[in-house]
Amino acid sequence: MPVTAVVGAQWGDEGKGRIIDYLAQQADVVIRFQGGDNAGHTVINEFGKHALHLIPSGIFNPQTVNIIGSGCVVNPQSLLDEMATLEAAGVGLENLWISNRAQMVMSYHRLIDALEETARGPDTIGTTKRGIGPAYADKATRAGLRLGDLLQSDWLEARLDGALRQANERIRILGGDAVDGQEIFAQLMGFRDRLGHRIIDTVPLLRKALATDARILLEGQLGVMRDLDWGIYPYVTSSNPTASFAASGAGLPARTLDAVIGVVKAYSTCVGDGPFPVELHDATGARLREIGQEFGATTGRPRRCGWFDGVAINYAAWLNGMTALAVTKLDVLDTFAELKICTGYRLADGAVVTDTMPDTALLNQATPIYETWEGWQSSSADCRRWDDLPPQARRYIDRIGQLADVPVRYVSVGAERDQMFEV
């Protein structure tokens, strides 16, 4: 391991949570490096079923230190709610820490997110309305408040004053009702009382961890196709889920990153708007959604479904510098007689693209080129070794690895912790 980033290789919801939960059994530290409570990372283990939004998916291993990194945006109320749910299920939170440099998602960020989506008229992004975009916007314009600010009340009060002037101006333009500073300050003092002891400077802790060769996992949120720079802009999130940003968002030197595991679903899904060339609007798409239970872990929205996209995986693997792939949800394909894999996009001018992702305007008019594979039509749910898989399933996974040009290291055949094996 020593430092391994685990990132989404598609449009999010690839199964990152379950892979981290599995790998965290051997990890000393897990750090979420970007995003906020827009994430829904589902983990099923002896503590039940949990959709984690902010808390790293290593939390179920009592030996693992879990850190919400500086690259994240944290809604303190969501965090407290999530902590309460986990505690009620018997999960210990002694090892949960938050970087003092992580940004706070304020109640007005959620309000602005919703107002902005309405103001976009028919051109919505389909955000999760968790205030993620407005919080990162405030970070960039330097109007953001950080978790560490909670520990200095005079400083916080002055910072809040400036932040609120900007926020209320934005709310007024968008036609919403101004928010009250005193009420928000009182709420922040409540967060300080309940979270203050978990807010730390992560540098001394991580320096020590690196010096002792601790095994560190960096947990990404979403996937490369929604990356602020490399995804289908503007239908993206407001941070960078690719591995190149993992070290910075986690608070580690870039050269310490040793490995990058790309988590990839055996077919494609996407929630939110924007071009999605492999989307199936027919009965096959509905069948994938039904068998795969493709409904958002955070918003409950039905996910758009389609065949596996080989162009996206090739792009994701190269851009992330992936060293291994974890293929999830293979079992969802068990009953299909025939499977398709997209190996290229045909653009409006007839050009064929296989090894990069066309920019959004071009992608809007791209049509997928498919090859057809024979299905295995038997259950893979009990397979625990490569040799247990039907030959058609092995060939299908081999093809995914070939398109990515990265070895497949893990295969997951069900949502339970043990329904997974190393190749």
From ligand IMO, ligand GDP, Mg ion, none, interface partner of 132 (C-beta below 5 to 8 A by class): ligand IMO
Complex with ligand GDP: residue 17 or 58, whichever CB lies closer: 17
- Please tell me the distance from the alpha carbon of residue 188 to that of residue 193, in angstroms, as a whole number: 9
Residue pair 108/179 in contact (Cβ under 8 Å)? The answer is: yes
Contact call for residue 120 and ligand IMO (CB under 6 A): no
Contact call for residue 13 and ligand IMO (CB under 6 A): yes
Alpha helices of 94-180 — where are they, by DSSP H?
A: 107-119, 132-141, 153-173
From ligand GDP, Mg ion, ligand IMO, none, interface partner of 128 (C-beta below 5 to 8 A by class): ligand IMO
Q: Which residues are catalytic?
A: 13, 41
- Residue count of the chain: 423
Among 69, 249, 262, 272, binds ligand IMO (CB under 6 A): 272
3-state secondary structure 11-77: CCCCCHHHHHHHHHHHCCEEEECCECCCCCEEEEECCEEEEECCCCCCCCCCCCEEEECCCEEECHH
Contact call for residue 56 and ligand IMO (CB under 6 A): no
From Mg ion, ligand IMO, ligand GDP, none, interface partner of 131 (C-beta below 5 to 8 A by class): none
Contact call for residue 40 and Mg ion (CB under 5 A): yes
Among 221, 268, 314, 380, binds ligand IMO (CB under 6 A): 221
DSSP one-letter code for 180: P
Window 235 to 254, contacts with Mg ion (CB under 5 A): none
Kindly give the pairing relationship between strand 367-374 and strand 338-346.
antiparallel
CB atoms within 10 A of CB 151: 15
Burial class (CB in 10 A: 0-12, 13-18, 19+), 85: middle
Q: Which residues contact 193 (CB under 8 A, 6 or more apart)?
A: none
Applying CB under 6 A, the residues found at the interface with ligand GDP are 8, 12-18, 40-42, 44, 297, 328-329, 331-332, 412-415
Q: Which stretch binds ligand IMO (CB under 6 A): 58-66, 94-102, 119-127, 376-384?
A: 119-127
- Please tell me the distance from the alpha carbon of residue 409 to that of residue 391, in angstroms, as a whole number: 17
Contact call for residue 310 and ligand IMO (CB under 6 A): no
- Site string (14-53) toward ligand IMO, x via CB under 6 A: ------------------------xxxx------------
Q: Which residues contact 111 (CB under 8 A, 6 or more apart)?
A: 131, 171, 176, 179
The site for ligand IMO (CB under 6 A) is made up of 8, 12-13, 38-41, 125-128, 130, 132-133, 221-222, 226, 235, 237-238, 271-272, 297
The site for Mg ion (CB under 5 A) is made up of 13, 40, 297
